[in-house]
């Protein structure tokens, strides 16, 4: 029976580890027992256990301190792709503080991509805002927003390190974001992104792009952002379509 246990897969080893963390109520920054102790406890060979630990480190569930051992990582922020709540509300709901650092803010002419997304004539002026978003003073996302300038003239005067972009659109200009579309893919950090997000060059990142619309289906913002996968994960609610909905396409 011991040989059977020793042949457990990396997936099984990870399941054992995650269950151990849960039932022992280990919290962020709590230390795990040594690899030798865990190997004996789970009846798993050391190399398989080590592979599971490495994957959990890559997934942001554990972190390693050289010479000290392995520790439980802080839980990631979970964002529901079907939820339009602001990032500020989401992060604060996890008991953390969010802040912004403005890297660039200016009025530019819309190129073809921006024109298409915001449904504007080519060359229309847009306000471009590039911000690093931070959770508890640690960078986790780099966001770029494009907004039609004529509709929101004077928006460049606001300090978006101190005020919310969406709240400004609503309170100052009377425009409320009520829906939108976005795409989620994977990318790798450029040198600039790596520097701004305090990660290594070509680290994997989530890439999100899309548009936010008002209650008249008019595009208000075209956005692009890259997000550190060790700081945030995404979820979605799956609903099976009815036969009638499928027929409507």
Structural domains of the chain ordered from first start: 2-72 (1.10.10.10), 77-235 (3.40.1410.10)
Q: Residue 1: is its pLDDT beyond 60? A: no
pTM of the model: 0.73
Q: Residue 124: is its pLDDT beyond 80? A: yes
Question: From the CB of residue 222, how many other CB atoms can be counted at a distance below 10 Å?
Answer: 25
Q: Residue 150's pLDDT is what?
A: 96
The stretch 83-101 carries a mean pLDDT of 79
Question: From the CB of residue 77, how many other CB atoms can be counted at a distance below 10 Å?
Answer: 20
For residue 180, the SS3 value is strand
Mean pLDDT score of the chain, rounded to an integer? Answer: 89
Give the rounded percent of residues in the chain with a pLDDT score beyond 70.
90
Q: Rounded distance, CA 217 to CA 234, Å? A: 25
Q: Give the pLDDT band of residue 33 (cuts 50, 70, 90).
A: very high
53 close to 37: Cβ distance less than 8 angstroms: no
């Amino acid at each position: 029976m011991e040989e059977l246990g020793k042949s457990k897969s990396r997936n099984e080893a990870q399941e054992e580890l995650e269950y151990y963390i849960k039932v022992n109520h280990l919290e962020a920054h709590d230390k795990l027992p040594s690899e030798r102790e865990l190997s004996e406890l789970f009846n798993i060979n050391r190399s398989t256990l080590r592979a599971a630990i490495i994957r959990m480190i890559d997934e942001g569930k554990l972190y390693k301190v050289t010479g000290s051992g392995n520790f439980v990582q802080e839980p990631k922020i979970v964002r529901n792709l079907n939820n339009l709540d602001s990032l500020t509300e989401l992060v604060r709901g996890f008991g953390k503080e969010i802040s912004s650092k403005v890297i660039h803010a200016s009025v530019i002419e819309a190129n073809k991509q921006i024109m298409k997304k915001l449904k504007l004539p080519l060359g229309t002026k847009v306000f471009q805002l590039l911000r690093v978003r931070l959770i508890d003073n640690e960078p986790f996302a780099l966001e770029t927003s494009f907004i039609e300038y004529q509709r929101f003239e004077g928006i460049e005067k606001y300090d978006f390190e101190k005020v919310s972009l969406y709240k400004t659109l609503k309170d100052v200009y009377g425009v409320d974001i009520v829906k939108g579309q976005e795409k989620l893919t994977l990318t790798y950090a450029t040198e600039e992104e790596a520097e701004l997000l305090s990660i290594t060059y070509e680290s994997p990142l989530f890439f999100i792009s899309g548009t936010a619309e008002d209650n008249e289906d008019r595009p208000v913002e075209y956005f692009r952002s890259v997000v550190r996968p060790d700081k945030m994960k995404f979820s979605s609610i799956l609903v099976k379509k009815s036969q009638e909905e499928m027929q409507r396409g």
